[in-house]
Each structure stands twice: as structure tokens, then as C-alpha cells.
Amino acid sequence: SVGSVFAIVPMISAISINSNMNPILAVSLSLLVAIGIGIMNGVITIFTGIPSFITTLGTMMFWRGIILAVTGGFSIMLEKKVGFLNLFGGLIVGEIRFSTVWFMLFAILFGIILERTRFGNWCFATGGNLGASIALGIPVKSVKMTNFIVSSLLAGISGITTFARFKVVDPTFGQGMELEAIASAVIGGTLLSGGYGSILGTFIGAFMIGMVQSGLVLIGAPAYWYRAFVGVILVIAAIINSWIRKRVAG
């Protein structure tokens, strides 16, 4: 549901700021909503046993419906200048934006967490072999909940950086982003079955996805070719993932 969170967080910020709420408070409130969505996804998945894909697919559609209901399908413009938002989407030097700096900092931070900390090891173990992780005493419920929260929060921050740059929130913001996120991770070497992946690989995958999208725009190709590319990547990833699982099982 990252795409819906990407849209609903800046929507809340825009409506709150336009209603004369303090910008810092408005952004903080919207990010708390993102955390709440992550907690909701985690609770549903962990305590009901529903696959996370189904849970997040359902909440994606729910929150997208809320966005369309609130906006009426129309964009929301930021009606005033807000200097605070420059910390998310403003320019630093030349064409370098704060959003780029945030992206790099988060990539480095979570790369270190994933590769150098106990929690990172727990994440790999939980994704690779849930039963063994439970037997080893790893708090798998806490690991899953934390990852749901972090994923939702980062999606919300991404939405704020886009809003800060363009000063407008469109109800279609983030549509299809879920598949792009999966494709970026898969291109970067993450296994759909879990247990293996890296922040660096995902970073490279996201960069390649962006390059393909920009390249198609530059040559004037229709937008649906980009969607077709993402779809092909996901199918290939599923085939490779199935092959690897069979090799490991055999």
C-alpha cells in the first residue's frame, strides 16, 4: 500500500496547511497517520495470518478510495508559501535537492542497519525461514511490525518530498508505485521468497527503473510501455524465484 500512503500523507498535509494549521504540526500529523497505517497493516497480517500481500492490497484500495472521496478526484493546491517544506523538496546547490540528500541518508542508514546490526540479521532470518527464526527465539512479530511501520513511514516521507517540490497533491499520486517498489527490489537481487537482498541492490534497481522511465519519456514512447516493462520484470522475477526455491528444496 505504499502508493496510497504516498498520496494520503501529502493530502493530509495540504488540507491541514490550507486550513491554517502550523506546517510543522501538519506534516508531523500526516506522518503519524503513515505510522498508523503501517501498524494497521502489521496487526492485520501478524494476528490473523493473512498474507501481507493480500493485506496491503486491500488497504491500498481502501486508502485510495478515501483519497478520491476526500478530494473528489481533483488536485489540491498549496495555497500559501511554506518555507519549512523546502527542507523536503527545495534546492540546495544547483539542481541538487534536499529530497536527494534524504534519499541518500536513508539508503546509508538502512543499509547499515540491515547489514551490520542484530535487527538486520533478524530481518533476513524471519524472511528466509520463519519457523527456524521462532525456534531460535527471534521476536518475529516485532520484526514484522517494525518493517511495516518503517515501510509506511518512508512512503509518507516520499510523498511529502514530492508535495514539497510541486506544491500540489493529485489523487492519482503513487498509483502503480507498489509494483515499481517490488520491481526495484527484485532487479536489485532481492528474492521474493525472502531471506536475501540488500539496500545497495535495491538502490541500483530503483535507479535502473528510473533510467528506463526517463529514457522512454525522452524518445516519446507511450506511457504504457513503461508499465509493460515493469510487468515483464515481475514475471521474470517470479520465474527465477520459483527456480531458486526448487533448487534449494532439491
Q: Is the pLDDT of residue 53 over 70?
A: yes
Q: Give the mean pLDDT of 27-39.
A: 96
What pTM value is reported for the model?
0.88
Rounded percentage of the chain residues whose pLDDT exceeds 70: 98
For residue 223, what are the contacts with CB-CB under 8 A and spacing of at least 6? 216
Q: Which tens digit of pLDDT belongs to each residue from 174-214?
A: 888 888 888 888 888 887 777 888 888 888 888 888 888 88
- State the average pLDDT for the chain: 88
Q: Give the mean pLDDT of 228-234.
A: 80
Q: Is the pLDDT of residue 23 over 80?
A: yes
Q: Is the pLDDT of residue 11 over 90?
A: yes
Count of residues for the chain? 250
pLDDT band with cut points at 50, 70 and 90 for residue 38: very high
Burial state string for 181-219 with b = 16 or more CB within 10 A and e = fewer than 16: bbbbbbbbebbbebeebebebbbebbeebeebbeebeee
Cα dihedral 16, 20, 23, 27 in deg (nearest 10): -10
Would you list the DSSP string of 145-202?
HHHHHHHHHHHHHHHHHHHHHHSEE-TTTTTTHHHHHHHHHHHTT--TTSS---HHHH
Q: Is the pLDDT of residue 218 over 90?
A: no
What are the beta bridge partners of residue 97? 91
Amino acid 250: pLDDT: 59
